[in-house]
Structure 1
Amino acid sequence: MARKFGKKNKIKVNPLDYNTGIIGESGIGKTTLAKEVCEKLVGEDGYIILNIGKEDGIDAIPNASYEDVPDWTTFDEITKDIIKNRTTDYADLKVLVYDTFDELIKITEPEVIRLHNKANPEKRVNTIKAAFGGFQAGEDKVIELILEKMWKLKKVGISMFILGHTKKRTMTDVVTGLEYDMLTTNMTHKYFNAIKTKLHVLGVASINRSIEKKTVKQKIGPDKTVGTVVDESRIITFRDDN
């Protein structure tokens, strides 16, 4: 008698079949990269960039396929239409680019507050921290709503390409006492960890600079050592090298 359960996994060839994320500072080229990758792998009609909230990364990118998503109502309308008409109007669609995930969180929080107030008219709140009893229950609901949408889209064959912002944080080495800059996400750790654990591929876009130290003679006082940028390039670092 044949086994009822247990199957062999087959590695997918198309990178966009996997959950992909790129985070980086504003203006480094995340949206342009997403457009070029999508057009190369799935064609001009195979993707839509969701220009979410106050994000405006699409403005300087010619011929990009996109849709403005100013609020949750619009996001809900777009995703429902794609799911409903997947095999007709969106037969060629393969990927949604979420530009950016941090802005998606910002437009989802008011929806969670609205849902709380609808369910609890006698205990209305105006902050996400107080929604659904507090203790991060409001944030949990935000994550639940977003992931539910993404997985409904995945079930009908729409992959995710998530973009997000980073910020610089100055750290001090405990051994040498020297300061250094570290890139970290612009989101709270709770939100970032919620999506990070769902991604197969996560890259951090940054600028790699070569700095040369030069001695500048001073008319008064000792010579001064300054750093000059002699070379720079944009790179993507992945969380492992496999």
Structure 2
Amino acid sequence: MSEAFTQIDGGDLDLLVIADHASAHVPDDIDLDIDPALLNEHIAVDIGVAEVSQLLAGQLGCKAILGGVSRLVIDLNREDDAPGLLPVMSDGHAIPGNRDADLAERMIRFHHPYHHQVARLLDGMTAPFILSVHSFTPRLASDPGQKRPWDIGILYNQDDRAARIAIPLLEAAGLKVGDQLPYSGQLLNATMNRHAEANGIAYLGIEMRQDLVGDAAGQKRFADIVGPIALECRSRLA
């Protein structure tokens, strides 16, 4: 066990579910100096992702790795030198406890072990495929006029192979799909850039709308839709 990640061993299929922001956990020895209620909000955790990822691992018979701490402790989906790696502000909320935090210590404690384990899992696969699972808030407190009506977004940087397969399949399943929405994978794709694109590993990056995966029924619905589509992408790109 590691405080940096939770690993789900659903089976030995060469497909890895990666969920960077699956946890709202803040270790007892870290004080963010925020209202604890914020840990239930999108700034702290990708709502619904842990549950959907666990369902997918069981359904597909594969492994999943879930980030073990809140993105407010350290953002696992950021490059080592990226702004926002150790956030002092998020969607209009100050995170005072991070102002004097030791970035190097948090990197060594959480960021490095998480990414080393992702690499180990992928190295153990003959023909790996990655399913990256995130969720997005339908409304930003800092930009309430911005509309985010999509049910699911597909993100990628240079490698859009799986995206091109998945988007029409997701639309056929009745979802309103955002291609590089609500933001672009060319900007927010650190984990996939590192583990997939840099190594030629095909991947599908999804962003589910949080209000649609906030309960068990919604989580099962999305897992049931996304799982077979991930398998189809893997099969076509093998």
User: When the two structures are superposed, what TM-score results if normalisation uses the length of structure 1?
Assistant: 0.31
- Structure that is richer in strand per residue: 1
Larger Rg: 1
